[in-house]
Homo-oligomer: A and B are copies of this chain.
Amino acid sequence: MAGSSFGTIFKITTWGESHGAGLGVVVDGCPADIPLQASDIQKFLDRRKPGQTKISTPRKEADEVEILSGIFEGRTTGTPISMLVRNTSQKSNDYSEISSYYRPGHADYTFDAKYGFRDYRGGGRSSGRETVGRVAAGAVASAALKQLGIGILAYAKSIGDIDADMDAFDVSAILETPTCMPDRKASQKAEAYLESCKKDLDSAGGVIECRVTGLPAGIGDPVFEKLDANLSKAIMSVGAIKAIEIGDGCQVCRATGSKNNDAFCIKDGKITKKTNHAGGILGGISDGSDLLLRAYVKPTPSIFSAQETVSQSGEEITVNIKGRHDPIIVPRAVVVVEAMTAVTIFDALLLNMTARMDAVRKFYLPE
């Protein structure tokens, strides 16, 4: 089925395999007249580019974006923005062997179960490279959100057992540390931990947190299109993420109502909340507080130690995976979570413009 599109008004459609000709995205429904150039997209793509640090796969990809449509004289035209990133460093022979068996923790088996056969090179469509298109689309959404004074910031909150100290939050560290943690000390500890994982031919997981600031109250919908429901779909659709929470998330199960309810109050003449256990969403609709979500990322399934599995011909075997793999997915997934959040939020903002008849009247009958 057609599972490669996301969004209602601001709709993105991604395509591409790890070892095919390239990857890309079509962004449809983007409003006209947003200043945008390739460098705006490239900045985002560079944040997920492989081969940049020792905790990232040695595969080197330029991941250079070409904008094929939808931009004219440096501005969006309202028509679909098609973006292309060519694969340049495919080493398909690395993967020839894995065509014959199912890697544990990967989608090899489930793709075969569904489609009967698969592009086995580097995971094909289920590769982490699939996120290239998401990140390019997220860059477009982010450019729009910036114009509305809305900021999105994702970072690694923890890696293995090492948590970033939120009291020592250092925004510059996010882009400068190889872990994308907002705390340089924690990052160093995490790097050491990852080093030990690599030595053990093992891999690590972690938590990505994402904060949206400046979002007005009233965004999102009741019932099925709740803002948190759509964010959950957006984030859980990123490979390797196994849990998502909003605000206090899992902790709410042990709280009581008197502790978990956020009291409303007036601050600077505006309605706000004294606390933010809700993470900025009430009844599926933004409440004007910061929106806060957390994604739990599993350890890279490609590890270099021996693993038991089954061959395509149905025999139990022991395998040693080769290839170029990150010992952790978290740092490169940070910008993916940010991108998916941006896409979801911008779509919700556009949808929200039609919620009231007085806004419709004002739009069509200005005075």
Contact = CB atoms under 8 A, between A and B. Distances in A.
A261 B68 contact: no
A317 to B, nearest CB: 9
A341 interface: no
A263 interface: yes
Nearest 3 CB-CB pairings of A with B: A107-B283, A2-B29, A3-B225
Nearest to A131: B223
B361 A148 contact: yes
Interface string A274-298: 1000110111111110000000111
Contacts of A1: 8-9, 29, 221, 225, 351-352, 354-355
Contacts of A283: 106-107, 110-111, 126, 239
Given A21-B66, A33-B356, 5 more contacts: A148-B365, A160-B253, A232-B235, A258-B307, A261-B303
B282 A106 contact: yes
Interface in A1-43: 1-11, 13-17, 20-24, 26, 28-29, 31-34
Contact of A242 (B6, B32, B248): B248
A278 B105 contact: yes
Contacts of A125: 77, 79, 222-223
A75 interface: yes
Contacts of A106: 282-283
A117 B357 CA distance: 12
Contact of A7 (B2, B80, B254, B269): B2
A300 interface: yes
Interface stretch (A45-53, A172-180, A182-190, A204-212): A204-212
Interface string A304-337: 0101111000111000000000000000000000
A62 interface: no
Contacts of A93: none
A353 B355 contact: no
Given A232-B244, A237-B223, A283-B126, A256 B80 contact: no
Contact of A354 (B105, B218, B303, B350): B350
Interface string A250-279: 111111111111111110010100100011
Nearest to A258: B202
B365 A149 contact: yes
Contacts of A8: 1-2, 8
